[in-house]
């Protein structure tokens, strides 16, 4: 069974065998499932671009141009930070 040691900064190096098996790369996020004080599973939190399809769709909502989106974001921050 592969093992890892926690450093003084709370970091661990995931053994190469596990990184290869899960196809983990630098910057990947891992999810931990903890039950009764133990890690019962650890899995990569990898998302596929196809999962994002349709997330922002609202029926009867007109699509915005990039310029309209930029203006909306600018307005939000003006209001949030009261800069005009």
Q: What's the pTM?
A: 0.47
Helices (H), the chain: 16-22, 66-81
pLDDT tens for residues 6-42? 999 999 999 999 889 888 888 888 888 889 988 888 7
pLDDT digits (tens, 9 = 90+) for 43-54: 777 776 776 777
In Å, how far are 37, 41, 65 from 10, measured between CA atoms? 17, 19, 45
């Amino acid at each position: 069974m592969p093992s890892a040691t926690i450093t003084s900064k709370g970091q661990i190096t995931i053994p190469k065998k596990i990184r290869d098996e899960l196809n983990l790369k630098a910057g990947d996020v891992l999810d931990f499932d903890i039950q009764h004080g133990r890690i019962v599973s650890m899995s990569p939190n990898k998302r596929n671009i196809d999962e994002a399809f349709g997330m922002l769709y609202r029926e009867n909502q007109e699509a915005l141009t990039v310029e309209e989106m930029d203006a909306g974001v600018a307005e939000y921050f003006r209001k949030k930070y009261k800069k005009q």
